Chain A
Amino acid sequence: QKEVEQDPGPLSVPEGAIVSLNCTYSNSAFQYFMWYRQYSRKGPELLMYTYSSGNKEDGRFTAQVDKSSKYISLFIRDSQPSDSATYLCAMTPNAGGTSYGKLTFGQGTILTVHP
């Protein structure tokens, strides 16, 4: 079983929809959680960064972490065609320290927002 599980999709939604992307994990040591967005033929870019449990909002994006359930989510409100990309969750036990901030990634979910 993988440490981080993410439904690869693909997920197709109409413009304006609310999108929910999810990851589950098995390692209870994970404390730092991230979402990356990767456009076709590009490298991933950091979208959201959260520590421990709770919510974080940035514009149309909301990241949620539920450590008790080992479950993280990314919500996209009022989705736009420009949101079409692969979304990767990532996590690490320590920001730095002896793990050097190494990230464990989910497989990525392919999202298409159609006009």
Chain B
Amino acid sequence: DVKVTQSSRYLVKRTGEKVFLECVQDMDHENMFWYRQDPGLGLRLIYFSYDVKMKEKGDIPEGYSVSREKKERFSLILESASTNQTSMYLCASSLSTGKGYTFGSGTRLTVV
């Protein structure tokens, strides 16, 4: 059935580590998005991509980078993890014609 798969449900990493979060969709969607979700702050857009090798900054890109080498895969990279990056990370995808997102189940990242 589904659709958007995030590689890990839970991750614990140490401060300063380089962290990779992987997201794969099987719906041939053009657009892919990375959000983080924090209590009281809601969903905040980190980066998105509208095509292979294309990326755009969202509202909070600092400390993150992304990679989209294939249409179905969108990776979020934390270059040097910090404790304030402890959060729930959600990947989503959508068609270029819109009609809303399909989300993955999320990755709960804890940086210690």
Contact = CB atoms under 8 A, between A and B. Distances in A.
Contacts of A100: 31, 48, 50, 56, 96
B103 A44 contact: yes
A86 B48 CA distance: 24
A45 B103 contact: yes
Interface residues of B, number: 27
Interface in B56-112: 56, 90, 92, 94-106, 108
A96 B42 contact: no
Interface in A93-115: 94-96, 100-103, 105-108
Contact of B41 (A42, A92, A94, A107): A107
B40 A8 contact: yes
A49 to B, nearest CB: 5
Interface in B6-59: 31, 33, 40-43, 45, 48, 50, 56
Contacts of B48: 100, 102
A103 B99 contact: no
A60 interface: no
Given A94-B98, A96-B97, A101 B106 contact: no
A30 interface: no
24 contacts: A32-B98, A34-B100, A42-B105, A43-B4, A43-B92, A44-B90, A44-B101, A44-B103, A49-B99, A95-B97, A95-B99, A96-B95, A96-B97, A100-B31, A100-B48, A100-B56, A101-B97, A101-B101, A102-B33, A102-B48, A103-B101, A105-B43, A107-B40, A108-B42
Given A45-B103, A46-B102, A88-B42, 15 more contacts: A8-B40, A42-B106, A43-B90, A43-B92, A43-B105, A44-B103, A46-B100, A95-B97, A100-B50, A101-B31, A101-B94, A101-B99, A102-B45, A102-B48, A107-B42
Interface of A: 8, 32, 34, 36, 41-46, 49, 88, 90, 92, 94-96, 100-103, 105-108
